[in-house]
């Protein structure tokens, strides 16, 4: 079979399985399998694949047809221009979170050195690694309660030669952090999906991504209330907190912070003009 035939058959298969952008998905899987840039496929449509390559491509497409996330199949994702490893048990970074990363590193760059930052719930390490990469003067910390996520984050940091720039902490929330630590910035993409809504999500998310990184409690607000009551103790006097929001949680999150005497400085939109980033500081 040629590359084009594999793409066409795989596209038809994924269409029947209800996978979005099926041709793109097949092309990305095939480019991964052949270790070539996706666009090079277009220059090689007539190239014949070996029986082994055809069988391997079919296996990858079948996994995607079972709604396994593409990023888990290929084992990586791009975040802020950095290639990060991901696997089941670790949340897949989203493009919207890149906005939070950019907002955070620009803030760190505006502070006197050495600024300190904490990535709360680091997962793959995407936020901490982006901050360490872009804000060379900053001292970056990252915490997570999942040993699997922390190990992945450490590996990703080492992959980009940032292992000595980030201090990792195994902690359920703030509880196991050294009590003397104080940060100029706390940044987080916390779980914010209401518990009952998880079953309504796409199978890629519902059946494959770690529920602990998704479930924000009955109303999705558990972590915003937790930040409002607990984060102040770990901030410098002029420190700030930046957190990602669900599109419909902005006002609830604002209220949670204001109830605990925080000043919400801004709620900034994402690419679709939905509220996405809350920036607050203790009053």
Tokens 């940060």 correspond to: 183
- What string of pLDDT tens digits covers the 283 residues of the chain? 999 999 999 999 999 999 999 999 999 999 999 999 999 999 999 999 999 999 999 999 999 999 999 999 999 999 999 999 999 999 999 999 999 999 999 999 999 888 999 999 999 999 999 999 999 999 999 999 999 999 999 999 999 999 999 999 999 999 999 999 999 999 999 999 999 999 999 999 999 999 999 999 999 999 999 999 999 999 999 999 999 999 899 999 999 999 999 999 999 999 999 999 999 999 9
Angle subtended at Cα 127 by Cα 242 and Cα 245, rounded to the nearest 5 degrees = 40
Nearest CA to 132 out of 106, 105, 151, 111 is that of 105
Where exactly does CATH 1.10.8 map onto the chain?
3-66
According to CATH, the topology of domain 3-66 is Helicase, Ruva Protein; domain 3 (1.10.8)
pTM of the model: 0.93
Where exactly does CATH 3.40.50.150 map onto the chain?
90-282
Who's near 248: CB < 8 A, 6+ residues apart? none
According to CATH, the topology of domain 90-282 is Rossmann fold (3.40.50)
Residue 184 to residue 104: CA distance in whole angstroms = 11
């Amino acid at each position: 079979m040629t590359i084009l035939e594999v793409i066409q058959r795989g596209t038809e298969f994924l269409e029947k399985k209800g996978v979005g952008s099926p041709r793109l998905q097949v092309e990305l899987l095939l480019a991964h399998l052949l270790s070539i840039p996706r666009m090079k496929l277009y220059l090689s449509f007539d190239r014949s694949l070996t029986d082994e390559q055809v069988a391997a491509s079919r296996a990858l497409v079948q996994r995607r047809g079972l709604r396994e996330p593409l990023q888990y199949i290929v084992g990586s994702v791009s975040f802020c221009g950095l290639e990060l490893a991901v696997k089941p048990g670790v949340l897949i970074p989203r493009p919207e979170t890149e906005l939070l990363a950019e907002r955070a590193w620009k803030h760190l760059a505006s502070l006197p050195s050495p600024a300190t930052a904490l990535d709360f719930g680091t997962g793959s390490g995407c936020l901490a690694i982006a901050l360490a990469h872009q804000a060379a003067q900053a001292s970056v910390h990252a915490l997570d309660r999942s040993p699997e996520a922390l190990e992945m984050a450490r590996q990703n940091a080492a992959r980009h030669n940032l292992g000595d720039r980030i201090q990792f902490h195994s902690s359920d929330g703030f509880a196991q952090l050294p009590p003397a630590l104080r940060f100029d910035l706390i940044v987080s993409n916390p779980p914010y999906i209401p518990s009952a809504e998880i079953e309504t999500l796409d199978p890629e998310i519902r059946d494959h991504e770690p529920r602990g990184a998704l479930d924000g409690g009955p109303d999705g607000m558990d972590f915003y209330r937790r930040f409002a009551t607990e984060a102040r103790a770990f901030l410098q006097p002029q420190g700030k907190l930046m957190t990602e929001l669900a599109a419909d949680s902005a006002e609830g999150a604002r209220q949670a912070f204001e109830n605990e005497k925080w000043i919400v400085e801004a709620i900034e939109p994402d690419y679709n003009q939905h509220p996405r980033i809350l920036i607050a500081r203790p009053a």
